[in-house]
Amino acid sequence: MPVRHLYLGLCVLGVVVPYAFFVPWLLDHGSGGGMGGGRFLRDLAANRISLFCAADVVVSAIVLFRFAGVERRAGRLARVWPVYAATLLVGVSFGLPLMLYLRQVRMEGMSRVS
């Protein structure tokens, strides 16, 4: 199996797993002012372990954005905006495998041309 297919499968996993937790929460709290009332942030900061996980994700996203920029400047990634969008809309669990997939596709295309 080509590694790009592995990365694509990890993209799917990176969307499905987090949203399996987020969608039920959203259905329970998303309507009737739950999101607007700060419920998301209150639940996210419910305890120190929640804050630990949130901080880990934020730091990982910053590292991923930097990594994507470096790969773009090196010519191994055509565009960074899909990585940024995937990370902001879902999380690092989708943004990182998407970046690796896009980079792999680009590198395979460059090796065919050479």
| Per-residue pLDDT at 59 | 98
Rounded to a whole number of angstroms, the CA Rg of the chain reads 17
Query: For each of the chain's 114 residues, which pLDDT tens digit applies?
Result: 899 999 999 999 999 999 999 999 988 887 665 565 688 889 989 999 999 999 999 999 999 999 999 999 999 999 999 999 999 999 999 999 999 999 999 999 877 765
How many domains, the chain? 1
* pLDDT tens figures, 43-60: 989 999 999 999 999 999
> Per residue, what are the HEC states of 73-98?
HCCCCCCCHHHHHHHHHCCHHHHHHH
- What is the C-alpha end-to-end distance of the chain, expressed in Å? 23
Q: 82 lies in which domain range?
A: 3-113
Which pTM was predicted?
A: 0.89
